[in-house]
Chains A and B, each alone.
Chain A
Amino acid sequence: MDRRLVLPVLLAALALGACGKKQPPAPPAPQVDTAGQGALREDSLRAAREAEARRRAEEEARARAAEEAAARARATIQAPIYFDYDEATLTDDARSALDQKVAILRANPDLRLRVAGNADERGSVEYNLALGMRRAEAAKQYIVGFGIDEGRIGTISYGEERPADPGHDEEAWAKNRRDEFEITAGGERITPPTTGGR
């Protein structure tokens, strides 16, 4: 072991030890104690404990809020967008959902996505694989149009092979004509966008 490491480790251990000693109530002083002095001391210690608890609660709330914001950002990034029948043109809803993804991609330069295009079960298997690819590409091109590096956005198609809803009616089909967004890198810590995100 490198000797240079030994000293800092020792110091850290001492510091930890010192901290540990501070936390339990201090041992009784050797002098003769009076009741008044003891009460004062108790009050003071309680106040300190309460202040510490408040500080921790605030810290936890902040951490929770940050976590929730990150989770919201993750959900926003992963939210599917939907298409009309046999169309790969982005709808207004799809565009506004992509706008939110762009804001998150800007705030997280390491974030990479894979867009998977999907189709409903109607039509031919192979044509739907081609259609899914065009749907994935439509989302990619829109995102890249905002200056996001195209190397960060991959595209694949599952055609009609992976329905989100196994049903055989318009309601199911509408849910299946979609792009899904999978985080392929940089998803461990997602920074929510400072502005623009909703």
Chain B
Amino acid sequence: MRRSLLLLGLLALPATPLAAQRDTTRLPTGVRLGLTYQTLQRPKLAVRPATGDGPAADIVQILQRDLDYSDRFVMADLIPEALRSGPVNYKAWNDLGVVWLVVPELQPDGRLKISLHDVVYGAVKQSQVFDLPAAGSPDFRLAVHAAADAVVKWATGQPGIAATRVAFVRRNADGGYSLLSVDSDGEDVRTLATVGTMLMSPAWSPDGRRLAYTRFTGSRWELVERDMTTGSSQVLLTRDQILTPAYSPDGRRIAFATWNGHNNEIDDYDVVQRCCLRRITHSARDDLSPSYSPDGRRIVFNSNRVGQPHIYVASADGGDADLLSPYTYGEPGYYTSPDWSPTGTQIAFHGRSRGEFQIMLADASTPGATVRQITASGRNEDPSWAPDGRHIVFSGVRDGGAGLYVVDTVTGRVRPLLVGGRYRVPDWSPILLSSSGLTAGPVSR
């Protein structure tokens, strides 16, 4: 009895941090709200209605939405009747404030010609003819997305992200789980796999041809790799628990968290030679959610080695880890699910702030610096970078409903990708040149 009283006394000690944990008014130390963004001059862009029959209207709608979702332009939505066809009247477009004009033409041979007009200079900046698969075929939308990405590239010199898909997991009404994917504009949802038990953590290979995920058999977990070209799947490994796989940037290795009998550690596995399992992290607590730096030399991961989950950066071969998330002794912290930007040193993760989980950004090159919180409403988890290193998809429970959302880290704009369900653990693909993931190109920068 006396001992339990003593224990009660000890339990009462961390009351202050617990109270702070529920504090919904102040930000955690080391976190700043990054919701006010630099005002950017975004040029106005218009997409002229397409000439030609058949899918012309669909094409314009897809192009318009893709260019809007690139967050690099202000979209001109109302186009005067007089400007809808005929030779381009640069003066009239200029009077409307339009800087870029996209003119799509569906040619008699079924191909799509896209011209980008520089209204200010009164000239065609660039044009290209794109092969179009039959409307309704799986690759049709992706081909139009690729055309939209070409426009972004011509106008800004930066890559677009329209020709991508997001893989995610849905908990089904019957208690089972499905692995799904959706176009970057929220259309064309496809079911890739369904299981009666649990399924988690999809991860695209860097070439977009493979998708790894983990699956519970009822007693153990399997690391599964799906060939996106053929649709066939292979079990790579079976363990008591396997979580959070991530490909190395060269696509040769998969790092993942696995149960070693006492705690979760991060291993990596040569997925090409099907060999050479290595242990990367060594701690007494759980290490999980690895994500590689673009050069493949470092990994960021999540560990609760100081008691609560934090974000660490280490060499991809293991060794000492640097703490990246804000840590103040005696103050509670909860930071998980890191994802390293494919284009630089920014790392996205989610952390508790004002009583809810929010998406945050830290710079891997300056551990200990203040991190930036980029969402502030609702509950937001599991960020994954788009291949442009600018947009992030996350799982959110917000006013717009539960589902997947996309935030632009430059403008702060948030758009729903797919709402209406507990869609979780999204992973954004690389640029795909075919919806089956058949061919994928490197992101040109």
Contacts and interface: CB of A to CB of B under 8 A. Distances in A.
Given A126-B244, A137-B262, A92 B337 contact: no
A113 to B, nearest CB: 13
Interface in A95-143: 114, 123-127, 129-131, 133-134, 137
B130 interface: no
12 contacts: A86-B308, A114-B219, A123-B309, A123-B336, A125-B381, A127-B289, A127-B302, A130-B257, A134-B264, A134-B286, A154-B219, A157-B241
Nearest to A155: B240
B433 interface: no
Contacts of B288: 126-127, 130
B244 A161 contact: no
A73 interface: no
A127 B310 CA distance: 11
A161 B244 CA distance: 16
B304 to A, nearest CB: 8
Nearest to B285: A134
A133 B263 CA distance: 8
A124 B7 CA distance: 30
Chain A, interface size category, equals 20 to 34
A81 interface: no
For the complex of A and B, the 3 pairs showing the least CB-CB separation, nearest first, are: A124-B336, A130-B286, A130-B264
Contacts of A131: 286
Contact of B334 (A92, A123, A125, A137): A123
A153 B244 CA distance: 26
A161 B198 contact: yes
B424 interface: yes
Interface of B: 4, 7, 171, 198, 200-201, 219, 240-241, 243-244, 257, 259, 261-264, 286, 288-289, 302, 304, 308-309, 334, 336-337, 350, 357, 381-382, 424-425
A146 to B, nearest CB: 19
A124 B336 CA distance: 7
A157 B286 CA distance: 14
Interface in A69-87: 86
Contacts of B309: 86, 123, 127
Contacts of A123: 309, 334, 336, 357
Contacts of B261: 137
Interface in A48-79: none
A151 to B, nearest CB: 13
Contacts of A156: 219, 240
A125 B264 contact: no
Contacts of B286: 127, 130-131, 134
A66 to B, nearest CB: 33
Given A86-B334, A134-B263, A126 B241 contact: no
B395 to A, nearest CB: 8
